[in-house]
Amino acid sequence: MREDLEITPELVIPADELVYRFSRSGGPGGQHVNKLETRVEIVFNIPSSRVLDENQKKLLRERLRSRLDAGGSLRVVSQRHRSQRANTLDAREKLKRLLAGALKERKKRVPTRPTATAMKKRLEEKRRRSAIKKLRGKDFDD
């Protein structure tokens, strides 16, 4: 599975920028688990990437900081399936979703104001509460 990874139509990560590591998967599985290297780890070194511009690298560093190691590499692991191929496809899909999500343009929040009715209701409720609290006092000669 040494092929380029398309994140978006405009952004394709070349195969030589992805490092694949295979190891034995943990968990149940008996003999199968002990003799086959089905666990897949894909490492993508963000700082040394040639296809990402500085702005994209900065975005990835900010938005994926909890998933990056000290060198700025992003690691994605899959060991859900019994076959190496299925785990490789799964890990590639995870990496694609992570990068696409982090690079997606965030919508700017448009601040809204409370409606006139909402403000009127709020003030009416405050007056009602105030009246209730006034009745709690010891002096009733207001």
Give this prediction's pTM: 0.72
The pLDDT tens digits along the chain (142 residues) read 678 888 888 888 998 999 999 988 876 666 776 778 889 999 999 999 999 899 999 999 999 889 989 998 999 999 888 888 999 999 999 999 999 999 888 899 999 999 999 999 999 999 999 999 988 877 656 5
Q: Structure tokens of 67?
A: 């998933």
Domain range summary for the chain, segments of one domain joined by +: 5-103
pLDDT tens digits, 85-120: 999 999 999 999 999 999 888 899 999 999 999 999
Distance CA 51, CA 35 (A): 37
Instruction: Report H helices in 7-53.
Output: 31-35
Geometric angle at alpha carbon 1, from 97 and 96, rounded to 5°: 5
CATH topology for 5-103 is Double Stranded RNA Binding Domain (3.30.160)
